[in-house]
Amino acid sequence: MTEDGGEAPGPAGEDEGPKPATESGDGGSTSGAGANDRRVRVTTDTRGSRDVVVPLRLYKTVTVFSTLIAVGCVVVGFALLDAATLQVSLVRDLLVDLIGVVGLSPGPGALTVTFALLGLAIIAFGAGVYVVGTRFRAEGMGNAQDDDAEESTNG
């Protein structure tokens, strides 16, 4: 316990106690993630943009994994687009062999459309994961959009 009645920081110097929900400085409101855990807050500014304020460790985890998933989805999506456009693609040959093991033998036109749509859907999913991942920020991080009031020095 500290002198003001709050919890003392943990061994790593981090505050382990719940943080109360407060008004955000950008004109929006802040709400806690749950009744017992208020370490995660969602802030909404006047433009309707939402940021999720989380502890630094969670921010790093979300950033790393959302970027990893997004990059993986883009690579797989473009491999499927390649399989859709090239009739001699190694990926296409592997996928046709896998479909043949199940006992299906779709025509080349159906495979082209399926691979193209699946590739585009996977790329879009990866982009969505990345966009959601960019909504997170750590406690104390500024928002570049909040700095619009600064003067520009480039003529």
Whether residue 74 sits in one domain with residue 45: no
Asked if residues 66 and 55 have their Cβ atoms less than 8 Å apart, the reply is no
Instruction: Give the Cα separation of 55 and 135 in Å (integer).
Output: 14
- The count of domains in the chain is 2
On the question of pLDDT at 1 being above 90, the answer is no
Q: What is the DSSP string of 97-108?
A: HHHHHHT----H
Residue 139 lies in a domain: no
pTM of the predicted model, to two decimals? 0.62
- 102 shares its domain with 125: yes
Please indicate, yes or no, whether residues 35 and 60 belong to a single structural domain of this protein: no
Same domain, 38 and 86: no
Domain shared by 23 and 69, yes or no: no
- Considering the domain architecture, whether residues 74 and 125 belong to the same structural domain is answered as yes
Whether 116 shows a pLDDT value over 60: the answer reads yes
Under the banding of pLDDT at 50, 70 and 90, the label for residue 132 is very high
Residues 48 and 62 in one domain: no
Which residue range forms the structural domain that includes residue 44?
6-54
Question: Within this chain, do residues 106 and 84 fall inside the same structural domain, yes or no?
Answer: yes
Supply angle C-alpha 37, 39, 42, rounded to 5. Answer: 105
What per-residue confidence (pLDDT) applies to 118? 96
Same domain flag for 75 and 121: yes
